[in-house]
Amino acid sequence: MIDVRRKSDRFYAESDWLQSRFSFSFGPYNDPNNTGFGPMRVLNDDSIAPKRGFGAHPHSDMEVVSIVLTGSLRHQDNLGNVGVTSWGQIQRMTAGNGIIHTEYSDSDSETLNLLQMWFVPDQAGLEPSYEISAFDVDALGQAWVPVVSKTGAAGVAKIHQDMTIYLTELAAGEARDYDALPGRRTFVFMIHGSASLNGEIQLDERDEARIEDVTDLSFRAVQPARIMLIDLP
């Protein structure tokens, strides 16, 4: 089954400094029929005004992954971590048994656009931790590049869940296949551009697809495309 959710289908929230689209129930958006996809619990597409952001707040028992698309994200927490993340980097925070942090746009002029995702960890009560990893942006045009995985590696952030986040980029007309393992879920998010999926579905910018029981996936770019694909239990 391929469940396509268009950008316009997602819940939209805005304030004077924040514009956000929620893929799953979050805050004021409370749909008991849309609370997650496997261990994936949150995907917020946030645009944050320069120097604005989220003041001190707690998290627990959640793996929080942030991918910055434009601008830069400044993080500080009660563990003493301070980090600034931009495109080409991944921020991973293990909330575990409790962490307090802030998240702000670090730019004086540029809007911060980030994808923030929360995943239920495979174990509760973990020791809180924080990591910034850097992936090879130039490699995105060649393959599905893992940027987050359970095992971690050089350039791959380590997450406490049996899952992998991949990024790739396609030139117009270029194709790339992905073979999912049987029994796994696949979540696809069209970050930029557009592409056809298995020749039958077109995913445009910020559309998503939640895929189960389909293992052979073939993408062909209609326009230059940047795609995030997540392999999930």
Which residues of this chain interact with another protein, rule CB under 8 A?
Answer: 25-30, 41-42, 55-62, 76-78, 97-98, 100-102, 104, 118, 124-125
Nearest approach, Cβ of residue 51 and another protein (Å): 11
Nearer to another protein, 41 or 206 (CB): 41
Q: Are 97 and 47 spatial neighbours (Cβ–Cβ below 8 Å)?
A: no
Q: Are strands 216-232 and 164-170 parallel, antiparallel or unpaired?
A: antiparallel
Rounded Cα distance, 190 and 148, in Å: 17
> Which of 39, 1, 19, 24 is CA-nearest to residue 210?
1
Nearest approach, Cβ of residue 76 and another protein (Å): 4
Nearest approach, Cβ of residue 206 and another protein (Å): 20
Nearer to another protein, 53 or 193 (CB): 53
Q: Are 108 and 74 spatial neighbours (Cβ–Cβ below 8 Å)?
A: no
Nearer to another protein, 4 or 84 (CB): 84
Nearest approach, Cβ of residue 119 and another protein (Å): 12
Nearer to another protein, 2 or 126 (CB): 126
Q: CA-CA-CA-CA torsion for 26, 118, 116, 107, nearest 10 degrees?
A: 100
